[in-house]
Amino acid sequence: MHHSDDTETCVEQLRTALKTHGITLPSLAVDLPTFAGAYAAPPLIALGNCNTATARALTAALRKAAGR
């Protein structure tokens, strides 16, 4: 699988997983500079900025998952 395909799939899977917890990261995307660059590693995924309510929801979801 090409790096771009794998990275896009990863972004979509993360977006879907977050959505199941009612979390939306509007800036979630493939990091364009690393996508366009000639790096051996796969492109980075930009999580972006979020407000405090979203950060708290993400924290709660991670804590809940860690408790399993």
pLDDT band at 1; cut points 50, 70, 90: very low
For the stretch 12-57, pLDDT in tens is: 999 999 999 999 999 999 998 888 887 777 889 999 899 999 999 9
Half-sphere exposure at residue 4, Cβ-oriented, CA atoms within 13 angstroms = 6
What predicted TM-score, i.e. pTM, was given to this entire model? 0.80
* Residue 3 pLDDT > 80: no
SS3 36: helix
Q: Provide the token pair at 57.
A: 């929801």
Q: How far is CA 57 from CA 10, 52, 53, in A?
A: 21, 9, 6
